[in-house]
């Protein structure tokens, strides 16, 4: 039976499903067949020989060496959309906190809690904590994926004007967006037009530092920046200067670090975006479901390094799961080895993503160790798994 190592606390709603299916849990990461992870940084950790999969209970995978895993035939999963509602709600909360001095007002009440005259004094003090409304403001949403699209829709419902920027948006995702969202193709246009700018893109080499000194200089004077995506998207030194001189009025971020924690006019949270019971359960259930489908059936859904393959549940025969380079001739050589061993191919799916490819073959007959070894020796093949139905 498969052994799972949890790198972080994962909701028991998910892990119970593994335990019920007979999976074992191990504290020894190097002895596990698969890892479940949230935000633990895996870049510096050695990937054990036997590791088959890493499932991220969350959206971002910048804490995982995705390409190194692909080279080793280790499938990396994430859970798209599973925590989007939680993040959306906190982003809207962050915007409202930037509009109204709720934090200052609550601190004032706390500081004056022993004063018997507090009710009277509050009526005088409150003018210090006034604000403005979100309705009618223009908000720029950068990245219109699971979270950005929900944020954009919620803002429309609150009466804001919304501009969206996402050069990689799929046609289906674009159709699903509220038609009142103005789609812009030039990031600078969004930056110069909006009172609020909110970031919802993954941290990749392309997006790192996208809110640069130049981008900040293009923002409207007194604009508010929200970052619930990743800290590395923002040039924090340039932002600190813009907050100091008032060019940017407020920075609301989910990423506390020595720079952000000391910024003037910043509201800095300790990575709370996905910290709701609902989001943690959703992510754990999705991560565990995908992991089981891969380990038990060889199917791959929502992987960030291998394409989608679905042959349904494995009920009889066996499956050969092959990870290989996406080059000519591999499938022919694999089919030859299978045919030479007397196995009959019942079903097969092959999918490539860039330089990496995955082929899942269902066969009748028993797959001997010699067949697995012959397949593993073929040129360009990285890993071969033989999956048998659960007895």
Ligand X SMILES: O=C(O)CC[C@@H](O)C(=O)O
Ligand Y SMILES: NC(=O)c1ccc[n+]([C@@H]2O[C@H](COP(=O)([O-])OP(=O)(O)OC[C@H]3O[C@@H](n4cnc5c(N)ncnc54)[C@H](O)[C@@H]3O)[C@@H](O)[C@H]2O)c1
Binding site for ligand Y (CB under 6 A): 58-60, 80, 83-84, 87, 142-148, 165-169, 200-203, 206-207, 228-230, 254, 271, 273-274
CA 205 to chain centre: 15
Q: How many CB atoms lie within 10 A of CB 111?
A: 9
Nearer to ligand X, 43 or 124 (CB): 43
The 10 Å CB-count burial string (b at 16+, else e) for 147-184 is bbbbbbbbbbebebbbbbbbeebeeeeeeebeeebeeb
Q: Name the site residues for ligand X (rule: CB under 6 A).
A: 38-39, 58-60, 83, 271, 273-275
Q: Could you tell which of ligand X, ligand Y, none binds residue 80, using a CB distance below 5 to 8 A set by kind? A: ligand Y
Q: Could you tell which of ligand Y, ligand X, none binds residue 39, using a CB distance below 5 to 8 A set by kind? A: ligand X
Q: Could you tell which of ligand Y, ligand X, none binds residue 147, using a CB distance below 5 to 8 A set by kind? A: ligand Y
Measured from the CB of residue 81, what is the shortest distance to ligand X in angstroms? 10
Measured from the CB of residue 270, what is the shortest distance to ligand Y in angstroms? 10
Nearer to ligand Y, 161 or 166 (CB): 166
Q: Return d(Cα 243, Cα 254) in angstroms, integer.
A: 17
Nearer to ligand Y, 181 or 201 (CB): 201
Measured from the CB of residue 323, what is the shortest distance to ligand X in angstroms? 25
Phi, psi of 261 (to 5 degrees): -65, -20
Measured from the CB of residue 5, what is the shortest distance to ligand X in angstroms? 17
Q: CB nearest ligand Y: which residue?
A: 145
- CA atoms lying within 13 Å on the CB side of residue 38: 17
Nearer to ligand Y, 83 or 374 (CB): 83
Measured from the CB of residue 77, what is the shortest distance to ligand X in angstroms? 12
| DSSP-H helix ranges across the chain | 12-20, 66-71, 84-99, 102-111, 118-125, 146-157, 171-176, 187-193, 213-218, 236-244, 277-297, 330-340, 369-377
Tell me if 166 sits within 8 A of 148, measured CB to CB.
yes
CA 95 to chain centre: 22
Tell me if 70 sits within 8 A of 40, measured CB to CB.
no
Nearer to ligand X, 273 or 298 (CB): 273
Q: Could you tell which of ligand X, ligand Y, none binds residue 38, using a CB distance below 5 to 8 A set by kind? A: ligand X
Measured from the CB of residue 237, what is the shortest distance to ligand Y in angstroms? 21
Q: Could you tell which of ligand Y, ligand X, none binds residue 84, using a CB distance below 5 to 8 A set by kind? A: ligand Y
Q: Could you tell which of ligand X, ligand Y, none binds residue 168, using a CB distance below 5 to 8 A set by kind? A: ligand Y
List CB contacts of 150: < 8 A, sequence separation 6 or more. Answer: 84, 85, 87, 88
Measured from the CB of residue 36, what is the shortest distance to ligand Y in angstroms? 16
Q: Return d(Cα 328, Cα 80) in angstroms, integer.
A: 32
């Amino acid at each position: 039976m498969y052994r799972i190592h949890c790198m972080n606390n994962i909701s028991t709603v998910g892990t119970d499903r593994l335990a019920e299916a007979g999976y074992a849990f191990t504290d020894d990461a190097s002895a596990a067949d698969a890892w479940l992870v949230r935000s633990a940084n895996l870049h510096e950790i050695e990937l054990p020989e036997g590791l088959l999969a890493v499932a991220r209970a969350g959206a971002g995978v910048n804490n995982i060496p995705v390409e190194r895993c692909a080279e080793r035939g280790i499938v990396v999963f994430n859970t798209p959309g599973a925590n989007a509602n939680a993040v959306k709600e906190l982003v809207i909360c962050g915007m409202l906190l930037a509009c109204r001095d709720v934090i200052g007002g609550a601190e004032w009440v706390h500081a004056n809690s022993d004063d018997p005259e507090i009710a009277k004094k509050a009526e005088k003090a409150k003018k210090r904590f006034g604000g403005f409304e979100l309705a009618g403001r223009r908000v720029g949403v950068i990245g219109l994926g699971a979270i950005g699209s929900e944020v954009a829709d919620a803002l429309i419902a609150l009466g804001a004007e919304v501009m969206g920027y996402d050069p990689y948006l799929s046609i289906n995702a674009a159709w699903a967006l509220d038609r009142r969202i103005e789609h812009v193709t030039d990031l600078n246009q969004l930056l110069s037009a909006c009172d609020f700018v909110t970031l919802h893109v993954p941290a990749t080499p392309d997006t790192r530092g996208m809110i640069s000194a130049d981008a900040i200089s293009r923002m409207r004077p007194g604009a508010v920046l929200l970052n619930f995506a990743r800290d590395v998207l923002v040039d924090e030194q340039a932002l600190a200067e813009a907050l100091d001189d008032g060019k940017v009025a407020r920075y609301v971020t989910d990423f506390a670090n020595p720079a952000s924690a000391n910024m003037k006019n910043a509201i800095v949270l300790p990575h709370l975006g996905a910290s709701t019971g609902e989001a943690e359960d959703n992510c754990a259930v999705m991560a565990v479901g995908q992991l089981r489908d891969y380990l038990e059936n060889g199917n791959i859904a929502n992987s960030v390094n291998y394409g989608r393959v679905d042959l349904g549940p494995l009920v009889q025969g066996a499956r050969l799961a092959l990870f290989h380079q996406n080059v000519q001739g591999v499938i022919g050589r694999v089919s030859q080895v299978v045919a030479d061993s007397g196995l009959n191919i019942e079903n097969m799916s092959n999918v490539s993503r860039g330089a990496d490819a995955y082929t899942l073959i269902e066969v009748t007959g028993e797959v001997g160790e010699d067949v697995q070894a012959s397949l593993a020796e073929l040129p360009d093949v990285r890993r071969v798994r033989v999956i048998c139905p659960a007895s």
